[in-house]
Amino acid sequence: MEIKAQGAEAIISVDGDRIIKDRVSKGYRIRLLDDALRTRRTRIESNLIREARVAGVDTPQLLDTNSTKITMQLIDGEKVKDVLNNTNFESIGSEMGRILAKLHAANIVHGDFTTSNMLIKDQRIYVIDFGLGFESNRIEDKAVDLYLLYNAIVSAHFEIAEDIWPVILKAYKEGYQESGATHPAEQVIKTFAEIQKRGRYKER
């Protein structure tokens, strides 16, 4: 087994064609509380992955789950962050918008929907790392998801940000309504714009 990454919340390991996410114990927390929190977050993440697949979003297939560990199919692809450029931004941007729309229409908030948390393989985009995700029908929560994606685009792909963002929003609108969401995509986008303004104000 090879450790692929180690973050504040979990250790990511690769074992053949499987990837294992193991939430690490926090020594500063009371043991019972620590176990309960790790178990809860693992259960939530597993459920979100299942629900995302039901909503038509490509994710790694769940193979096994225990109290603090998730075993998934290894997607041997490249991060969207590493391949997105000025020749493919329209196709990838459209797909990102449609994917986020499907998640939000199913009331799934990813919590870290960035190009680092999407893998591309065989022209399909897989969404990974639902560790910060949760279920919500609140427009504000979905708008924050959109804002996180916008910030990721501006910071990591600034040279194409002005071109790709309208593509993403157009696909998001179309996909959101096609997915039968309970409120219009325009409400989410309007709230996103308000959050964006607040962010700009704080930067001054």
pLDDT, position 118? 97
- The CATH 1.10.510.10 portion of the chain extends over 78-203
All residues at 6 or more sequence positions from 89 whose CB lies less than 8 Å from its CB, including other chains:
157, 160, 163, 164, 167
What's the CATH number of domain 78-203, 3.40.228.10, 1.10.510.10, 3.30.450.90, 3.10.20.740? 1.10.510.10
User: Topology of 2-73 in CATH?
Assistant: Phosphorylase Kinase; domain 1 (3.30.200)
pTM for this model (two decimals): 0.91
Q: Residue 199's pLDDT is what? A: 66
Quickly list DSSP for 5-57.
Answer: EE-SSEEEEEETTEEEEEEPP-TTS-HHHHHHHHHHHHHHHHHHHHHHHHTT-
Where does CATH 3.30.200.20 sit in the chain? 2-73
What is the model's pLDDT at position 203? 46
**Contact of 125 with 132, CB cutoff 8 Å:** no
Active-site residue list: 112
Q: What is the residue-level pLDDT of the chain in tens, covering all 204 positions?
A: 777 777 767 899 999 999 999 998 876 777 788 889 899 999 999 999 999 999 999 999 999 998 899 999 999 999 999 999 999 999 999 999 999 999 999 999 999 999 999 999 999 999 999 999 999 999 999 999 999 999 999 999 999 999 999 999 999 999 987 776 667 899 999 999 999 888 654 443
